[in-house]
């Protein structure tokens, strides 16, 4: 009896949520690199990340989580993105030159370490709950961190040079992957970024690409209007 063994690389399992901007980052990278993934939605707004099944997978009770084909459980979007870059180096997300790599990583972290953590669902819940903040105070909070944070990003982009199609060159990379979801969040929270010309220009270039468009929250299977 003859049989044919087809060896296919198993797809990584990806736990995310349509509106989570760190999940959104990973989706863009998967699309840019053409990496298939097996998606499991975790309903953040309903608190599914706190249920035992998920909390065992990630004691931080945060998204995203990626389980590699060999079963390693990876948390934190930037770590997942670096893993993707190392395991799927085709369509690189980082430049080759070391100082340029540091500039791109630094820009990504200006979002991932300085803006996004302050607008996280659990932080906003803490403001409204234990701290008793009203809508005005929450809005002021969001405008402060997202507004000032993206204004700093605008300055970093202008410093890098504005004659390129994307943040740091003519191909999209880690910086663009972090910028687009953050701008999506800014718009969702009503933060005015009309004055940030370079940020908007780069986002428009990104969103013209299928890899970015297909990663948009509204295009996800778990999307809720």
Read off the DSSP letter of residue 166.
Answer: B
Q: State yes or no: residue 36 binds its own copies (CB under 8 A).
A: no
Stretch that binds its own copies, among 41-49, 81-89, 207-215, 216-224 (CB under 8 A): 81-89
Q: State yes or no: residue 121 binds its own copies (CB under 8 A).
A: no
Question: Rounded distance, CA 127 to CA 52, Å?
Answer: 25
Stretch that binds its own copies, among 10-18, 44-52, 120-128, 195-203 (CB under 8 A): 120-128
Site size toward its own copies (CB under 8 A) is 49
Return the structure tokens found at 4.
């044919």
CB atoms within 10 A of CB 109: 13
Stretch that binds its own copies, among 111-119, 164-172, 178-186, 214-222 (CB under 8 A): 111-119
For residue 103, give the 3-state DSSP assignment: helix
Question: Rounded distance, CA 158 to CA 130, Å?
Answer: 40
Q: State yes or no: residue 50 binds its own copies (CB under 8 A).
A: no
Question: Rounded distance, CA 22 to CA 20, Å?
Answer: 6
Q: State yes or no: residue 124 binds its own copies (CB under 8 A).
A: no
Alpha-carbon distances of 160 from 32, 94, 167, 168, 191, rounded to whole Å: 23, 15, 8, 7, 24
Q: State yes or no: residue 179 binds its own copies (CB under 8 A).
A: no
Find, among 46, 154, 163, the residue nearest to 107 by Cα.
154
Give 91 or 118: the residue with its C-beta nearer to its own copies.
118
One symbol per residue from 52 to 71: x for binding its own copies (CB under 8 A), - otherwise; what is it?
-------xxxx-----x-x-
Q: State yes or no: residue 161 binds its own copies (CB under 8 A).
A: no
Q: State yes or no: residue 225 binds its own copies (CB under 8 A).
A: no
Q: State yes or no: residue 76 binds its own copies (CB under 8 A).
A: yes
Which residue in 40, 92, 114, 164 binds its own copies (CB under 8 A)?
114
**Contact (CB, 8 A) for 63 and 23:** yes
Helices (H) and strands (E) in the chain, counts: 11, 4
Instruction: List the end-to-end C-alpha distance of the chain, in Å, as a whole number.
Output: 53
Binding site for its own copies (CB under 8 A): 59-62, 68, 70, 72, 74-76, 78-80, 82-83, 86-87, 98-99, 101-103, 105-106, 108-110, 112-114, 116-118, 123, 126-127, 130-131, 133, 137, 140-141, 144, 149, 151-152, 155-156, 159
């Amino acid at each position: 009896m003859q049989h044919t063994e087809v060896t296919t690389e198993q797809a990584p399992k990806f736990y995310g949520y349509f509106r989570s901007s760190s999940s959104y980052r990973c989706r863009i990278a998967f699309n840019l690199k053409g990496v298939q993934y097996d998606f499991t939605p975790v309903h953040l707004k309903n608190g599914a990340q706190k249920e035992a099944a998920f909390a065992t997978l990630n004691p931080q009770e945060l998204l995203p989580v990626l389980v590699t084909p060999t079963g390693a459980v990876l948390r934190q979007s930037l770590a997942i993105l670096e893993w993707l870059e190392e395991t799927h180096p085709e369509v690189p997300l980082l430049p080759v030159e070391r100082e340029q790599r540091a500039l791109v990583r630094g820009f990504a972290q200006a979002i991932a370490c300085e803006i996004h953590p302050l607008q996280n669902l659990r932080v906003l819940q803490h403001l409204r709950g234990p701290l008793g903040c009203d809508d005005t105070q929450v809005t002021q909070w969001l405008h402060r961190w997202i507004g000032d944070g993206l204004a700093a990003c605008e300055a970093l982009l202008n410093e890098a040079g504005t004659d390129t199609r994307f943040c740091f060159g003519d191909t999209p990379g880690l910086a663009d992957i972090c910028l687009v979801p953050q701008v999506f969040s800014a718009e969702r929270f009503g933060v005015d970024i009309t004055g940030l010309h370079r940020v908007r220009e780069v986002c428009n270039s990104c969103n013209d690409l299928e890899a970015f468009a297909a990663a948009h929250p509204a295009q996800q299977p778990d999307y809720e209007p």
